[in-house]
Structure 1
């Protein structure tokens, strides 16, 4: 006699729930985790930049353009194909000869999927990025995941197409509603360069100070 007891189901872990939300609510392609991953190059590409550069670039984004944060890095969603355009765009903007902490993730790539709902809720994802008590936009601290997990600064909205809100080259000089990728890239490249100069200046000072100490002298500013 065949058993009528159903086979036990494998319990869904958090990465399964996250992937389900992105696939069912947004229609985004994902990859298995953990952590859950979002595929890039299909509906959008990603610019991965230092947090300082990412925050400076927010003014060039439309209100519906998603932005994620992971640790000290900001991930800006841009139009699909932008990763291929980036090297030529940096050359055109005269940034191509410099080493910038700026990475584009496009076709065949992926990013960690930020949690689609604020921490501490029952799991409802109807309004990701908003406090379920006050309705206000929650801060990165409110949404901080464990051990530097990715979170949304500006979350995608279910039921809304993300593509029209993303920065694109076609917006250059046009009157459309899409943000301009050229201005966005120029802004993040400028701030990446400033970060690099500060880092080089700090390293040069440290090297100079160490050299003087090795020589038995002290910097003039420390002898006053």
Structure 2
């Protein structure tokens, strides 16, 4: 009969449903877990994945200017992330508890340095993998500078910054969660576990074999943190006659 729809003879139960693309957070999580073997946890509402410090690495959170000065003490494959005017230097797991003692030994311990060591119990928001986010490149000292280029000497390289690649300060119990902007890799970690051998460490922690010296990194960072603090203080007329 005209207008009659043909009968459906196929078993609809055997027809697979269209596969949904992975959620962006799942893609980020799989990259960190499968490619790097780094433990991750779900981020706060509205944010993607957080990395758990103290397992595969600890973190030195420092002003970008101080961190940039310390890059010469790191291997070219030492992972480093940039977040606004802050830099996160990844160091060997177990280093964070040693930082106050090393700073005391270097005679920096009594000064209010803008330096935070993150270790066991701390979470940091994961920058997007380098093939999905923005990778930063170091601009030569004589290159253009300005607010459009982010922290002085750091220039976005590659694709634009996608939404959702925010980073938060360390998430501690009782501290309200707040988005602080976007984090990107300056030196992204290499898959396959090679990143562990490139992290700054102390010889007492089993370092060696070409790993960067954490003491040198801390001394350089502390020196430039102190200089930055002095410059900021002298910028106030009441504190610098």
Q: Could you tell me which of 17, 22, 26 is aligned with 1:16? A: 26
- Establish whether residue 41 from structure 1 lines up as the match of residue 51 from structure 2: no
Spell out, residue by residue over 1:20-59, the C-alpha distance to the aligned partner (whole angstroms, 9 max, x if none).
Answer: 1100111100011223111110011000000001111000
2:198 and 2:211 in contact (8 A); partners too: yes
RMSD: 3.1
1:57 and 1:184 in contact (8 A); partners too: yes
1:23 and 1:29 in contact (8 A); partners too: yes
The alpha-carbon deviation at position 85 of structure 1 amounts to: 0.1
Equivalents in 2 of 1:58, 1:144: separation in Å? 24
- Establish whether residue 158 from structure 1 lines up as the match of residue 168 from structure 2: no
With structure 2 as the length reference, what TM-score do the two structures score?
0.70
1:164 partner SS: helix
The alpha-carbon deviation at position 199 of structure 1 amounts to: 0.9
Instruction: Report matched runs for 1:43-192 at 5 Å.
Output: 43-119=56-132, 129=135, 140-142=156-158, 145=161, 146=163, 148-170=181-203, 176-192=209-225
The answer for the alignment partner of 1:27 in structure 2 is: 37
Equivalent pairs counted in the alignment come to 192
The alpha-carbon deviation at position 111 of structure 1 amounts to: 1.3
Equivalents in 2 of 1:201, 1:36: separation in Å? 40
Equivalents in 2 of 1:193, 1:107: separation in Å? 27
The 3 A distance-change label for structure 1 pair 83 and 208 is: closer
The 3 A distance-change label for structure 1 pair 115 and 109 is: same
Instruction: Give 1 or 2: higher strand fraction.
Output: 2
The alpha-carbon deviation at position 7 of structure 1 amounts to: 9.0
1:46 and 1:83 in contact (8 A); partners too: yes
Instruction: Give 1 or 2: higher helix fraction.
Output: 1
Equivalents in 2 of 1:170, 1:157: separation in Å? 23
Question: Which stretches in structure 2 are left out of the alignment for 5+ residues?
Answer: 1-11, 137-153, 167-180
With structure 1 as the length reference, what TM-score do the two structures score?
0.75
The 3 A distance-change label for structure 1 pair 36 and 66 is: same
